Structure 1
């Protein structure tokens, strides 16, 4: 299928189906999500979606809050940064390690999900989506281990398994490959250039000036 530019960048949601309240997924991923959840229950887990589709506006708020100092930024060792000590380039580079540039998030496609095991939490609790929760002895480690063996059977992959000197590893992030592959193959550096020129994204001038650094490091190498 072909994605429109607006669908690729989270500015349009006509490709989505509301699977659960506040959780929309790509219409071609609905059955796969349900099948994976059913299989998880049979294995003793309760796989839930902590995050599914995320709009451009939502990603824009996250990014701009970090760029303006309204939300904490961290370095690669998860230590709090004093952004006043950083150049604009260093700040943009630091934010990209944990948060996608608005319009470039895989969550815009409705194919990518942050998942957790609801059985591992008390009622009303939700995961913080940190590495420790998914590593050995973490509450989601058994689910993560199971998914490493079973995800491919349902056409899911882990797109961020190592930082590759780019995005932070995300053991909670799975992607429905048959559709995300189509989206990623259609996204290009030109899409990012248009966004940076047309949308109110803080630090856009820095990223645009250095697009041949930011695009391959944080976007291009993760295309599947």
Structure 2
């Protein structure tokens, strides 16, 4: 595979630089700086909870969920009994909140889970759950500010609402131009090869259903 494809799949880090202790795509630093400065002027301590995640880290998360070592949650944050499901259904249940290795937008370095750290109370711990960004949640004001500000700085929310694939993730923002460039490298054949050649649980069910999973969970996002 070409370097650009490996980068988009989370298998090459040569496109990344350090940004406040996080790895990000070199092309998004200027936009992040501008968004960060604007947030601070509005009274928010813009903080990145998660940025780049490579293929192997995503595989560890995936395999832990597939094997039952980590809980798989439904849209109500209730634990799913995966022992009652077929492997294909387990794959779908995991993909509601956790991307298939090779398809996570966090591989790009252009996507970030963000919050306003000064709005988190001392007794609270960050959960990255929708209620935190909804009315009466600690980050509601920050979410409203993001709604009105993201596009000015070249960002959007790919998972702004549930579309039958990935659950709503109001904390997840994406740099429009850079993520599109990276996404152009994420072909079905490249994902197939990456999963086929790495240790990913549920491999047979994934590969058999990959075209449908791709359209339901990977490309089924908001318009930028």
TM-score of Structure 1 vs Structure 2, range by shorter chain: over 0.9
Q: 1:106-131 CA deviation, whole Å, 9 max, x = no partner?
A: 01110000000011124696521001
Are residues 15 and 124 of structure 1, via their aligned partners in 2, closer, same or farther at CA, if it must alter by over 3 Å? farther
- 2:152 paired residue number: 153
- 1:37 paired residue number: 36
- 1:217 paired residue number: 216
TM-score by length of 1: 0.94
Contact 1:3–1:183 (CA under 8 A) maintained in structure 2:
no
Pair 1:51 & 2:42 matched: no
Structure 1: tracts of 5 or more residues without a match: none
TM-score by length of 2: 0.94
Contact 2:4–2:185 (CA under 8 A) maintained in structure 1:
no
Count of aligned pairs between the two proteins:
222
Are residues 135 and 8 of structure 1, via their aligned partners in 2, closer, same or farther at CA, if it must alter by over 3 Å? same
Contact 2:25–2:110 (CA under 8 A) maintained in structure 1:
yes
Contact 2:192–2:207 (CA under 8 A) maintained in structure 1:
yes
Q: State the secondary structure of the residue aligned to 2:27.
A: coil
Q: State the secondary structure of the residue aligned to 1:29.
A: helix
- 2:11 paired residue number: 11
State the Cα distance separating 1:150 from its structure 2 match.
0.7
Contact 1:3–1:186 (CA under 8 A) maintained in structure 2:
no
- 1:24 paired residue number: 23
State the Cα distance separating 1:185 from its structure 2 match.
2.1
- RMSD value over aligned CA atoms? 1.6
Name which of structure 1's ranges 91-100 and 180-189 shifts more when overlaid on structure 2. Answer: 180-189
Q: 1:182-210 CA deviation, whole Å, 9 max, x = no partner?
A: 11122111121112211111011101111
Structure 2: tracts of 5 or more residues without a match: none
- 2:88 paired residue number: 89
